[in-house]
Structure 1
Amino acid sequence: MADETTWPMLAVDTWTPTRETLHMWTQIVGKIKMALAAPINHWWHVTLLVDARGLTTGGIPVGARTLEIAFDFVDYALVARTSDGGSVSFPLPGHSVAEFYARVFEALRELGIDVVIHPTPNEVEVAIPFAEDTIHDTYLPEHAGAFWRQLIQADRVLARFRSGFVGKASPVHFFRGSMDLAVTRFSGRTAPTHPGGAPNCPPSVMREAYSHELSSAGFWPGGGGEGAFYSYAYPAPDGYAEADLPEGASFSAEYGEFLLPYEAVRTSSDPDGTVLAFFDATYDAAARLGEWPAGLTTGSSRERSGR
């Protein structure tokens, strides 16, 4: 069984208030990045990255300067800093979404940065404008910190999985719309037009995200009692749902993807190997059944990790 300080237990239903608040906060910060950063295919320019203290935008060019906005889950703070030495921070606990929204833009004004975003969240059924959202106002550091430690492990394993693919692949990055950490591999071929369907999200967003054939893997704080690792293909080839899977994994007709419960990984004698076997098996199903070009991988993830 894995060390709980490394692979922490965090039941989904115990941290819903913090998760929903944090989701809206990351949407605000992600929209600031989207407004300022140069566009990259499949919306790769709007994502956040896992770092040694939490989640960060990474460097965002603002004129001749660089801006970074970071969630510090060690000191429970939101930090905005610029390459010319500017820095503004405020504590995360004690703020509703509306208050957080106001504080972030106040911090940007102090740094001399003017930016306008679409002030409503995406990919949620009930989209309360940020400036009016006083419902989501919970931040428990122990819950956010445990989620971040889950992301650290997922980020590390996803990076190992990504390393063996020589075709086009995304970075390992955090999508603020769906609140998941993902890495995506591409066959190199265009895909059928995506029908859209995500709540409060224009079809054009999904069409750009799924413009080319892909196999995506990641970690999501849903889909199981403690969250789940997932894998899906677009378009899903015939027979994909019947693929052979490692023990504990299954295909979810509800979500249209394969799921491996986080708790199955946390309680495994080899957590890394369990996740990598799942990612390898589901990618193999997508590539084999979808007749992807040969030679895109350099052996199994477990072989590359020395397992």
Structure 2
Amino acid sequence: MESRGTSWPSLEVEAWGSTRETLHMWLQIVGKLRMVGSPFVNHWWHVTFSLSARGLTTGAIPVDGGVLDIEFDLLDHRLVLRTSDGGREEFALTAMTVAEFYRRTFDALGRLGIALEIVPTPNEVVPAIPFAIDEEHCTYDPGQVHAFWQQLIRADGVLRRLRAEFRGKASPVHFFWGALDLATTRFSGRPAPVHPGGVPNCPDRVMVEGYSDEISSSGFWPGGGREGAFYSYAYPEPAGYAETPVPEGAYYDPALGEFLLPYEVVRLAEDPEALALEFLRVTSAAAARLGEWPAIG
């Protein structure tokens, strides 16, 4: 038997496509609730989820002088809504349409006496089917979702170590529901060229704010490899960055403008955490060196 926390689970991207697409829409619904209920934070840091001991959580959302939090419990597979006055609502995460999940979530909020309104269509996907009429996405495999969460837990440990090594401005390690990626971002302290936008079904102002400063971003997402990938990129990308030597198995993808290290390469390595951390260290250092970032004391 493997000791707790040492295994890196396998989950092929193609195998869980239907469940992933459904979960993605559910996460967007709840993520938008956090977004509209929270004060704005630079680079959209107020919209993200964090990992918890049971799944993914919004953390505290200020409501009516109190606090709401919403958690995807991926052990018992339930959506749990809690308020600081003791209120609690929950329902099972099981095969259901996005429209049904949307209705159940807002019904639960209503029973808690909370009124929040979101733009009821998804972002960063094509087509963007309005949540209330999305009968297409309706698959939920608990084992696949649990395996994805376990992948995120392994990635979270690597990204937290990477973030701790940087003394300048850096984001938390957090999960973005737009693209389903877990990420942390370093900042040079200088403004960046205005981002051109162009992300499907996402206002350009979102990208303009997100990339308002020079950055080096590192993360994990369920794409880029047979089982997902660690990634690293810089904005703006400095000259020579794409030629940075990286560990075996990693490569630069010119279409994405990112370095990728397939998750399956990491999983099969003798020391998965060390390989992932080396990849992210090397690419982050190259972004700072080639971009001539100011020294951070």
**Structure 2 partner of 1:101:** 102
The 5-angstrom pairing of residues 158-237 of structure 1 reads: 158-237=159-238
Partner residue of 1:70? Answer: 71
Which residue identity lines up with residue 41 of structure 2 in the other structure? I
Alignment match, 1:299: none
Q: In the alignment, what sits opposite 2:276?
A: 275
- Residue 15 of structure 1: CA displacement? 0.2
Measure the CA separation in 1 of the matches of 2:4 and 2:255. 32
**Aligned 8 A contact 1:230 1:257 in 2:** yes
- Tell me if the contact between 2:9 and 2:267 (Cα under 8 Å) persists in the aligned partners: yes
SS of 1:13 mapped into structure 2: coil
CA contact (8 A) 1:197 1:203 kept: yes
Write out per-residue CA displacement over residues 236-261 of structure 1, whole angstroms, 9 at most, x where no aligned residue: 00111001111111000121100000
Q: Distance in 2 between matches of 1:42 and 1:71?
A: 24
Secondary structure of 1:81's counterpart equals strand
In the alignment, the residues of structure 1 paired with residue 147 and residue 165 of structure 2 have an alpha-carbon distance, to the nearest angstrom, of 29
Q: Percent identity?
A: 61
Per the alignment, in what secondary structure is the counterpart of residue 14 of structure 2? helix
Q: How far has the Cα of 1:6 moved from its partner?
A: 2.4
Matches within 5 A, 1:224-263: 224-263=225-264
- CA–CA separation in structure 2 for the residues paired with 1:187 and 1:59: 29
Q: TM-score, normalised by structure 2?
A: 0.98
Instruction: Find the counterpart in structure 2 of residue 124 from structure 1.
Output: 125
* 1:2/1:266 contact within 8 Å kept: no
Shift of 1:94: 2.4
Name the CA distance, whole Å, in 2 between partners of 1:120 and 1:38. 21
Q: Which runs of 4+ in 1 moved over 2 A?
A: 1-6
Match of 1:154 in 2: 155
Q: CA deviation at 1:40?
A: 0.1
TM-score, length of structure 1 as denominator length: 0.94
Which ranges in structure 2 are unaligned for 5 or more consecutive residues? none
The CA distance in 2 between the partners of 1:11 and 1:95, in whole Å, is 22
Deviations, residues 155-203 of structure 1 (Å, cap 9, x unaligned): 1110011001111000000000011000000000000000001100111
Deviation at 1:294, TM superposition (A): 1.8
Q: Whole-Å Cα distance in 1 between the matches of residues 127 and 226 of structure 2?
A: 23
1:209-244 deviation digits (Å, cap 9, x = unpaired): 000000000000001100000000000001110011
For residue 80 of structure 2, give the secondary structure of its aligned residue in structure 1.
strand
Which residue is 1:293 aligned to?
294
In the alignment, residue 125 of structure 1 is paired with which amino acid?
Answer: V
Supply the distance in 1 between the matched residues of 2:284 and 2:4 (Cα, whole angstroms).
28
